[in-house]
Structure 1
Amino acid sequence: METILGFDFGLKRIGVAVGNTLIRQAQPLTIINEPTNDGKFAAIASLLEQWRPARCIVGLPLHPDGAEHEMTLRCRRFANQLHGRFGIPAVLVDERYSSSVIGSERGSRIDDQAAAIILQQYFDQHGET
């Protein structure tokens, strides 16, 4: 059994979810709301120390037609930073429709729920991990 963390990356907040390969169910964990990149990565380091995930899943935002945009590049960079800073594999998962599952009101602090949906999509797409 492996623990896996899922991330919904945003410029202001990062939603985090947790799950494992045994029960394959993602659960919202927390929202990182630090004003600086150093603060965000310190909070992530603490979560990685606590949960010791085998890999991290990062939502990859795309336009409905699959085209990339500015946040796509930022999410790719974030995934690369997770891998580079912490040595943990980071897998990108298409998150185009995750927001529609929980609603489009980003002001309601749903980032951890979005992270859970992204992680659940990963579990659903990757039978055995």
Structure 2
Amino acid sequence: MSRVLGIDFGEKRLGLALSDESRTLASPLAVYERKDLQSDLRFLRDLILRYQITEIVLGLPLNMDGSLGPKAQQVLEFKRALEESLKLPVHTFDERFTTAEAERALLEANMSRRQRKAKRDALAAVLILQGYLQQST
């Protein structure tokens, strides 16, 4: 079986989620503090080998009207770098509401601001990956 890696892209951090082998359930994996592109790619390559990941889903932050803004352009550049370096299919998934949804869920769990900040990116990655898995079945 194969797993899918979900990534919530940020300039400072990558929220990471991993599917189960049946590709039906997404779970939080980690929040990676970004360094530089080469270090980031090396870290992701290690994850791919460790967890037998065969594809990646990258959250794409579209504008409310569905257009691509500067942040979405950054994500597409990162997508190209992932595809070239890791030689795996990289899909994008509309993530317009995932960060807000993650924040809402963490607020409902009565977490402090510091706890929310630590978990928000990984939870956003779970929401991106879970949405993709449900859409692709």
TM-score, structure 2 length as denominator? 0.85
Which residue pairs with 2:45 in the alignment? 45
Q: Give the Cα–Cα distance (whole angstroms) in 1 for the partners of residues 83 and 97 of structure 2.
A: 25
Map 1:88-103; keep pairs closer than 5 Å: 88-103=88-103
Q: Which runs of 5+ in 1 are unaligned?
A: none
Which residue of the partner structure matches residue 122 of structure 2?
112
Equivalent position of 1:8 in the other structure: 8
SS of equivalent residue, structure 2 residue 34: coil
Secondary structure of residue in 2 paired with 1:57: strand
Deviations 1:22-48 (A, max 9, x none): 151100101110322222122111111
> Aligned letter for 2:96?
R
Q: 1:99 to 1:34 in 2, by over 3 A?
A: closer
1:36 maps onto 2:61 in alignment: no
Matches of 2:23 and 2:53, distance apart in 1: 15
Question: Which 4+ residue blocks in structure 1 deviate beyond 3 angstroms?
Answer: 104-107
Does residue 78 of structure 1 match 2:78? Answer: yes
- The alignment of Structure 1 onto Structure 2 pairs a total of residues equal to 127
State the partner residue of 1:121: 131
Q: Which amino acid aligns with 1:30?
A: A
Give CA-to-partner distance per residue, 1:71-121, whole Å, 9 cap, x none: 101111111111110101000000011112111779713111111110001
Instruction: State the structure with more CA Rg.
Output: 2
- Write 1 or 2 for the structure with the bigger share of helix: 2
The percent of aligned pairs where both chains have the same amino acid is 28
| Pair 79,96 (structure 1): closer, same or farther in 2 beyond 3 Å | same
Flag structure 2 segments of 5+ consecutive residues without an equivalent. 105-112
Q: Give me the TM-score of the superposition, normalised by structure 1.
A: 0.90
Could you say what secondary structure the match of 1:24 adopts?
A: coil
Name the amino acid aligned to 1:121: G
RMSD (Å), alpha carbons: 1.9
